[in-house]
Copies of this chain bind each other. A is one copy, B any other.
């Protein structure tokens, strides 16, 4: 009997791309809140979601340095499990519930990619970097303080997809207020059999479930954000028309469940 939460299934379950849930995350986020062309954000929505009439075009670009662990001290193997991520979230409505939808997301680690697909995050591989803050002061330390700046970038296959810079202005009292909407995702797995390629094996609209979501050290300020146009990507269609704010915070949460909203697979 083969074991493992994902492929490769193996005799001892040690070869699977990711250990089984619960999955625990801690990380640092640098991000920019912005307004894109409402037609462009609406065009990314899957069946089952509609534009939010109050905030169509509103979006957030996030760059994250993540540490992951499951039950076996995976955080002590950073070469295998530490990773970086960049994603864009756009405002949407699921029936009458305000939600965020994730059209594009990139990571630099295959375990994270496999977990993401399982959750409905449409992850591709990319190279993601952000300025960090270090405890020892000096010109390179980027302290968490008014006026401090944090750069961030996303590249894939040697092409730059996104560049951001955030300048901190003031702390946010309730950091969780920055993460108020639930995220809706599309669990999707195609068929390859001839005649079935337009008929996916899995096509589920799902809502992310996060436990113990914690935000620490949240600051807001101003932001810059640029999505250069590249082949093989459509992120640039969501290029900012207006920047709302920049922000930075640390966050942690756990995941061991998912809420299926609509199951349309066959």
- Chain A: residues with CB nearer than 8 A to chain B? 1-2, 5-12, 14-15, 17, 20-21, 24-28, 40, 43-44, 46-47, 65, 67-69, 73, 75-80, 82, 103-105, 109-110, 113, 117-119, 122-125, 127, 129-132, 134-142, 149-155, 157-160, 165, 186-194, 197, 201-202, 204, 212, 214-217, 231-235, 237, 249-260, 265
The 26 listed contacts between A and B (C-beta, < 8 Å) are A1-B47, A2-B44, A7-B122, A9-B186, A17-B124, A65-B132, A75-B140, A77-B151, A77-B157, A78-B131, A78-B153, A79-B153, A79-B158, A80-B231, A110-B125, A117-B117, A125-B125, A127-B158, A134-B250, A135-B217, A136-B214, A136-B216, A138-B212, A140-B252, A193-B257, A194-B257
Q: From A74, which residue of chain B is reached at the shortest CB distance?
A: B140
Does B11 contact A237, Cβ atoms closer than 8 Å? Answer: yes
Which B residues are CB-close (under 8 A) to A191? 118
**Nearest CB of B to A236, in Å:** 10
Contacts A113-B110, A194-B257 known; A46 to B186 CB distance under 8 Å? no
Interface centre among A73, A141, A251 (most CB of B within 10 A): A141
Which B residues are CB-close (under 8 A) to A149? 73, 76
Interface centre among A68, A214, A249 (most CB of B within 10 A): A214
Q: From A249, which residue of chain B is reached at the shortest CB distance?
A: B136
Main SS of chain A's interface residues?
Answer: mixed
- How far is A157 from B127 in the complex, measured between Cα atoms in Å? 9
One of B17, B24, B129 near A78 (C-beta < 8 A)? B129
Does B153 contact A158, Cβ atoms closer than 8 Å? Answer: yes
Does A78 contact B193, Cβ atoms closer than 8 Å? Answer: no
Which B residues are CB-close (under 8 A) to A125? 109-110, 125
Does B259 contact A193, Cβ atoms closer than 8 Å? Answer: yes
Does B26 contact A134, Cβ atoms closer than 8 Å? Answer: yes
Does B234 contact A12, Cβ atoms closer than 8 Å? Answer: yes
- How far is A192 from B197 in the complex, measured between Cα atoms in Å? 24
